[in-house]
Amino acid sequence: MITDSTMGEEVLRTNLTQFLLVLAVSLSVATLPQIFSWFRQIPYTLLLVIVGLGLAFADIRLVNLSPELILLIFLPPLLFEAAWNLKWSDLKRDLLPICLYAVLGVVISIVGVAIGLNQFAGLSLSTALLIGASLSATDPVSVTALFRELGVPNRLTTLMEGESLFNDGMAVVAFTFLVGLPLGNAELGLQPILVQLFAVVGIGVAVGGLIGFGISYVTQRFDLPLVEQSLTLVAAYGTYLIVEDLGGSGVIGVVTTGLILGNFGSRIGMNPRTRLIVSEFWEFIAFFVNSIVFLLIGDQVRYASLEENITIIGVTLGAMMLMRAIAILLLSKLSNILQASKIPLPEQTVLWWGGLRGSVSIALALSVPTLVQEREKIIATVFGVVLFTLLFQGLTTKPLLQKLNLLGDLPLRQHYVELISRQTALNRVLQYLAQVNDRPGIEPEFYRYQETLVKEEIKHLEAEIDSLHNEYPNLQSFTNEQLKMELLAVEANTYAEFVRSGWLNRELSPFLHEAHDTQQPPIEN
């Protein structure tokens, strides 16, 4: 008994040491862009993969990466955070193309990759289908982070994230069915596939909806930010576990719960301060989990295995990229026919090139049963393709956006806001100087010198701001939008204070928001 207890403590200590080592390396990588400015050109997640590859080359293995670790520990919070921040209004506008990409796109990808591997690489059809299913889930974390940094149009981010959220579930469902083929546990046919698809998706949506709406109405009963924050964490993991136990798709369940809590529960059951706390909490969780996952993806690479299967990796890449292009072009054309909101060719190009593969693909490949004869070949192929998409496609997305003129004006807006902030601060300094003009002990000459310095700097800032206004007239509308958001925040926070003090028993909708919406003409796409 004592021996078992001692062994358990030793295992726990070893696991804790490995976890702290991974975390220390990840956080060290996070500081590199602050020390060396050149590293700022590389998205943080891709930098982690590169460092992981360096550790793998030196044969330093931080921890063994198991599929259960990714799917159970890492996947639920990543899915929930993305769904929490995805606005239903944006999703609803592009629900048709997103569903087309996530459903038909997955089918096209699996079939195309499987045929390519079967015909040109000589793999058995069952093995080829497993590789296709593993690589059918997109993971554009690095790309969407780059989108936000560069101010890329919000619709492109919504399309990319929406497709990723839903095709994760489709990929897991397809893989679960296809993994039974080489073991003789499944029959390849349209009817059994559709029955299983509707069953796992239906269970996921039903349980996710029940948990999401249940927590939404429960949080109406109290105002305890830390409890509500904890409930969202429990919801993410609890939904995944319950749905999986019931035979459904945990991925679909978590996405459903996150969408409901982010768009409905956070509005009816949380005041603005709590919503901010919960959003910041999930931003931290996403950063924390991604820091570990992407480092471990690079660290788990076996270079010898990649070299042995380089031909298969090349064929898989070619087939996958070709099928991705066909799927995006055909399904976008279909979407453009069926709905008024069009997806232009430059955005389609970015959707094609930005369809990176990541942690879900790795987890699915690692979960192939050991009884499957070509398991190591499947894992090596998936790792090779994932690394190519993360490094080559991930690092070339920014030049592609520049070439297609899809870069937003976020850097310009940030510079403009900094100028306005400095002007406001210096005006306050000038006001303060006027108040201390008669303070005893201050020499008039020193006072005038300080006043002149401040006025000259304000004059310089005003000239630079006027120059930006003349060169970029749209900045004026940005300033108006910023003021509108500030007014909305003041109004919403006032309602929240009234609810907490007992003046109101429920939060009111911001009047300014409603008034603004009624005055704006509808936007035509």
Summarised one tens digit per residue, pLDDT across range 423-466 is 888 888 888 888 877 777 777 888 888 888 888 999 998 888 88
Residue 84: C-alpha distances to residues 162, 207, 258, 265, 313 (Å): 12, 17, 5, 10, 35
pLDDT of residue 494: 78
Contact 382, 70 (CB under 8 A): no
Q: Evaluate if residue 479 carries a pLDDT over 80.
A: no
The whole-model pTM stands at 0.77
Rounded CA gap, 167 and 186, in Å? 22
Rounded CA gap, 488 and 199, in Å? 43
Q: Evaluate if residue 294 carries a pLDDT over 50.
A: yes
Summarised one tens digit per residue, pLDDT across range 343-355 is 999 999 999 999 8
Contact 120, 181 (CB under 8 A): no
Residue 80 is encoded by which pair of tokens? 């929930």
Tell me which of 1-5, 67-71, 135-139, 478-482 is least confident: 1-5
C-alpha angle 137-236-98 in degrees, rounded to nearest 5: 35
Dihedral angle, C-alpha 58, 59, 60, 64, nearest 10 ° = 150
- Percentage of the chain modeled with pLDDT above 70: 89
Residue 367 is encoded by which pair of tokens? 């979960």
The letter for the amino acid at 138 is T
Average pLDDT over residues 146-152: 74
pLDDT of residue 57: 86
pLDDT of residue 308: 92
pLDDT of residue 245: 92
pLDDT of residue 204: 92
Handedness of CA 424, 425, 431, 434 (dihedral sign): negative
Summarised one tens digit per residue, pLDDT across range 265-291 is 888 878 777 888 898 899 899 888 888
Contact 291, 78 (CB under 8 A): no
C-alpha angle 240-81-51 in degrees, rounded to nearest 5: 100
